[in-house]
Amino acid sequence: MSSFLIAGLGNIGSEYAGTRHNIGFDVVAALVAKHGGSFVADRLAAVSEIKFKGRTLTCILPSTFMNLSGKAVKYWQDRKKIPLERLLVVTDDIALPLSRLRLRASGSDAGHNGLKSIFAELQTDQYPRLRYGIGNHFPRGMQVEYVLGKWNPDELALVKLKNEKAVELIESFVTTGLERTMNDYNKIEITL
d(CA 135, CA 71): 28
The CATH number for 27's domain is 3.40.50.1470
| 192 domain residue, yes or no | no
**What is the per-residue pLDDT across 71-105, written as a single tens digit (0 to 9) for each?**
999 999 999 999 999 999 999 999 999 999 999 99
**What is the per-residue pLDDT across 97-138, written as a single tens digit (0 to 9) for each?**
999 999 999 999 999 999 999 999 999 999 999 999 999 989
Q: How confident is the model at residue 182 (pLDDT cuts 50, 70, 90)?
A: very high
d(CA 167, CA 116): 24
DSSP string, 60-123: EEESS-GGGHHHHHHHHHHHHT--GGGEEEEEEETTS-TT-EEEESS---TT-HHHHHHHHHHS
Cβ atoms 63, 44 nearer than 8 A: yes
- The residue type found at 47 is V
| 190 domain residue, yes or no | no
Close Cβ partners of 25 (under 8 Å, ≥ 6 residues apart) = 8, 9, 10, 61
The pLDDT of 20-35, averaged and rounded, is: 98
pLDDT given at position 153: 95
Q: Which of 21, 35, 112, 137 is catalytic?
A: 21
pLDDT given at position 115: 97
**pLDDT beyond 80 at 1:** no
Q: What is the mean pLDDT of the chain?
A: 97
Measure Cα distances from 144 to 140, 141, 147, 160 in Å.
10, 8, 5, 23
| 83 domain residue, yes or no | yes
pLDDT given at position 107: 95
Measure Cα distances from 181 to 34, 71, 90, 111, 152 in Å.
19, 28, 15, 25, 29
| 191 domain residue, yes or no | no
Q: How confident is the model at residue 157 (pLDDT cuts 50, 70, 90)?
A: very high
Q: How confident is the model at residue 180 (pLDDT cuts 50, 70, 90)?
A: very high
Cβ atoms 118, 73 nearer than 8 A: yes
pLDDT given at position 79: 98
The domain containing residue 125 runs over which residues?
3-185
pLDDT given at position 3: 98
pLDDT given at position 11: 97
* Residue 142 CA, distance from chain mean position: 23
pLDDT given at position 129: 98
Counted domains in the chain: 1
d(CA 5, CA 170): 11
pLDDT given at position 44: 98
Q: How confident is the model at residue 147 (pLDDT cuts 50, 70, 90)?
A: very high
Q: Does the CA dihedral 172-176-182-185 come out positive or negative? A: negative
Please tell me what DSSP assigns to residue 5. E
pLDDT given at position 173: 98
Q: For this structure, is 35 an active site residue?
A: no
pLDDT given at position 51: 97
**pLDDT beyond 90 at 31:** yes
